[in-house]
Structure 1
Amino acid sequence: MKCDVLVVGGGPAGCLAAAGMAHELQVKVLEEHSRIGEPVQCAGLVTPRVVEMASASDAILNRIDGAYVHFPGGRVIELQGNEVKAVVVDRGEFDRRCALMAEKAGAEVLTGSKAISVERTAEGLRARTAEGDVECRALLAADGYRSGVARSLGFGPARDLVRGLEVDLRIRAEDQRKVRVFLGNDIAPGFFAWAIPCGDLTRVGLCVSRDHGPPQDFLPKLLEAQGWSGVERVRTYSGAIPLGHIPRTFADRLLVAGDAAGMAKPISGGGLFTGMAAGKFAAETFREAFASGDLSAKSLSKYEERWKAVYGKELRSSYRVRKVFVRMCDRDLDKAGARLDNVKAKAVLATGDIDFPTALAPGLLKACPSLLTIAPLLIFRLLWR
């Protein structure tokens, strides 16, 4: 098989890239799993802009306009926004909508087809699959955090990794409009835990820094603490999130996007917005490169310039914040909670955008200057944008 651009990975990043260039180029998408969107490895909490990017409003399960933040010592801060801040989506259905966009644009989506290896040829690249070779003039690696494609072509892994575990519990949350976030090193060291209302089900999960052991060691503690140990588990999900993007996301005839490039947001772990935006930028860059007949690294470097212009600063700032956060003990977290538990600070927090969380820093410090007494380095990192 031959094509202009081979997209390895049939997730949202890869499929939006395919959708953005298949009307001009011959595009094939390789997805290793037999069904798009399976297995699910995401909590499915995204901003409305992400749903709009995929035209996937049919995948929305719930709308969120606030949160309860639980601190280690027992304090709970309630945040109430004045608009929908996030939506809960059926992640499998969301992914399938993205794949449908790619197919409607003219891309061929091949499920159950894994790129075993990729090598360069005189005229482009060749991907080996169990069904045969696929030759292409250019390639987009969007095959997840393990990304055998990117690794085989000389790209290193992301700087950090957290591992996650989530269960759908058959229990209806009392407040369907608010998520719960749990902080504490006994519950989710190096990250946080969550409970997301989805009608008659509640998605409960957490992520843990890899140096603290598997998430399976911590989820039972959360379930027991919240009185959910005996609740029926409808479905269990697991996965890993790469944090800290790779130094370079382009090469001759090659671009890297999404988790393969470590583009997940270091504070929340979400990667749909960044990955999907990268997919669109990849499509734009490939279209221009083919039109000019120049698929060199220099030509394709525009891709990295584009995604960095939108969220590069956010990823850098968020990663700095994360490095400080993982060193905070429960006592520090409780002190921060005490300082933030006031009308002005909560009003600022309620305006947050989970795609650009560090934008809150200046307003939060103005509303709550006493935060400087707890973690001056953290504040410095937040403001050093």
Structure 2
Amino acid sequence: MSKKAEFSTIRKIFAPIWIKGPISNFVSDHLVIVGDAAGQSKPTTAGGIFSCGVGGIFAGRAIANYLETGKKSDLEEYQIKWEKKFGKEFEKQLFARKLLERLDNTTINKLFESITPQIIKEISQKEDFDFHTSSIVKLLGVKGSFETAKTFIGGEIKKLMK
């Protein structure tokens, strides 16, 4: 064991994560789709440990019920439960992503400059990162939201003037 073993990379695998929101049907015939494949990764961060994991739990329970009853409606309950828990949040995150993708670097810098240490402290101590869009809007408040809108509109006007 005194010698170090040599190693080599056999192959690197890269796979994109779907961030355009959930697919329209999690269940098709006898196929149940969960996690990244179902679009259950967050549109803003591409994270999904919680949302995909909960999707797996809901799917597992739905499958167990289906195996007992044979009713397809038991499988469809999986999507209903997932959308009830995450649907509104994912809609907000998709909207935020569409806005943020349009921003230039100057506008993004201005947005980051508006984040105060107090906002960071409040987000860190009180808010739920898995449901973060409403937390950020709430912490920015009316004045912060107005400044954000002003910065965004300014960036859009600059694009039009080019």
The TM-score normalised by the length of structure 2 is: 0.74
Alpha-carbon contact 2:127-2:135 (below 8 Å) kept: yes
Give the corresponding residue for 1:252: 29
Report Cα offsets for 1:92-127 as digits up to 9, x if no partner.
xxxxxxxxxxxxxxxxxxxxxxxxxxxxxxxxxxxx
- Secondary structure class of the residue paired with 2:16: strand
Which of residues 331, 346, 351 in structure 1 aligns to 2:120?
Answer: 346
The separation in 2 between residues aligned to 1:287 and 1:237, in whole angstroms, is: 33
Secondary structure in structure 1 of the residue aligned to 2:78: helix
Supply the AA of the counterpart residue of 1:290. Answer: L
- 1:328 offset after TM fit, Å? 0.6
> Which consecutive unaligned segments of at least 5 residues does structure 2 have?
1-11, 154-162
Q: Which residue of structure 2 aligns with residue 226 of structure 1?
A: none
Deviation (angstroms), 1:300? 1.7
Q: Which residue of 2 aligns with 1:241?
A: 17
**Which residues in structure 2 correspond to 1:1-385 (within 5 Å)?**
238-243=14-19, 244-294=21-71, 296=72, 298-340=73-115, 342-350=116-124, 351-366=126-141, 368-369=144-145, 370-375=147-152
Instruction: Please give the alpha-carbon distance, in whole angstroms, between the structure 1 residues aligned to 2:50 and 2:95.
Output: 20
CA RMSD of aligned residues (A): 2.1
**Contact 1:252–1:300 under 8 Å retained in 2:** no
Identical pairs, percent: 25
CA distance in 1, matches of 2:118, 2:76: 43
Q: Give 1 or 2: higher helix fraction.
A: 2
> Which consecutive residues of structure 1, in runs of 5 or more, have no partner in the other structure?
1-235, 377-385
Q: Distance in 1 between matches of 2:119 and 2:76?
A: 41
Q: Deviations over 1:309-356 (max 9, x none)?
A: 11122112111111111111001111112221x244333333443311
8 A Cα contact 2:63 2:74, kept in partner: no
CA apart distance, 1:266: 1.0
Give secondary structure in 2 for the equivalent of 1:240. Answer: coil
- Residues 363 and 348 of structure 1, relative CA distance in 2, 3 Å threshold: farther
Greater percentage in strand: 1
Contact 2:26 2:34 survives alignment (8 Å): yes
Number of residues paired by the alignment?
Answer: 138
Contact 1:345 1:368 in 2 (8 A): no
Give TM-score, length-normalised by structure 1. 0.33
Q: Which amino acid aligns with 1:349?
A: I
CA distance in 2, matches of 1:375, 1:349: 22
| Deviation of 1:237 (Å) | 7.0
